[in-house]
Amino acid sequence: MEIPENSDSKNCDNKVLRLKKAIYGLKQSARAWYIKVESSLLNLGFKKSKYEPCLFMKCHDDVKVYVAIFVDDFFVFYNCDNIYKEMRSVLEEAVNDNCSETYPYQQKNITDLHGFVDADWASCNIDRRSYTGYCFVLSGSVISYESRKKGTVALSSTEAEYMALAEACKEAI
């Protein structure tokens, strides 16, 4: 980042500049992005779920639309093709659609979910704790993973594997 051109750069040694926009990578940028998305969806007539802050719903007669937000991805579930066309036209106005033609997004086809888990027993020479890891793959893409050193010491390789499997099962659920 650089000091703005219109500021007095000679006297900026002991000053702090205030950001008026969120910048990608800063802690508050995710919150600023969520507030923008939330207000846009509420303006389009969506209602926010009481139980999940990243789930928005729009129901009218038999037509239902659900929008789930995960980080910077939108998952749209609907039961009417006209609603899909309407939402797409609204999004095309807000976003330059050329990038989606050049770089198509992966479609979430119905495929099996695969999970992988592994542990090594007492591999840390200092405290004899195990390293464990798991990952889940859906449609050929990793959707969740973790790799870390366990907080407790396993007494056998079987126990280390069970501990890793328990963590993976919690994530799967």
pTM (global) more than 0.85: no
In this prediction, residue 98 has a pLDDT band, given cuts at 50, 70 and 90, of: very low
- 127-166: per-residue pLDDT in tens? 888 889 999 998 778 899 999 888 888 899 899 999 999 9
**pLDDT > 60? residue 101:** no
Between CA 55 and CA 152 the distance in angstroms is 36
Which strand (E) or helix (H) includes residue 114? strand 113-120
Residue recorded with tokens 């036209």: 89
Residue 97, pLDDT score = 42
Average pLDDT, the chain: 81
Residue 109, pLDDT score = 66
Between CA 142 and CA 134 the distance in angstroms is 10
In this prediction, residue 99 has a pLDDT band, given cuts at 50, 70 and 90, of: very low
Mean pLDDT of 18-42: 79
**Least trusted range by pLDDT, from 8-12, 58-62, 133-137, 156-160:** 8-12
Alpha-helical (H) ranges within 13-108 are 27-43, 81-94, 98-102
* Higher local confidence (pLDDT), 95 or 61: 61
Residue 82, pLDDT score = 82
Mean pLDDT of 51-79: 88
**pLDDT > 90? residue 33:** no
Where are the domains positioned within the chain? 27-102, 113-172
**pLDDT > 80? residue 105:** no
CA 130 to centroid of chain Cα atoms = 28
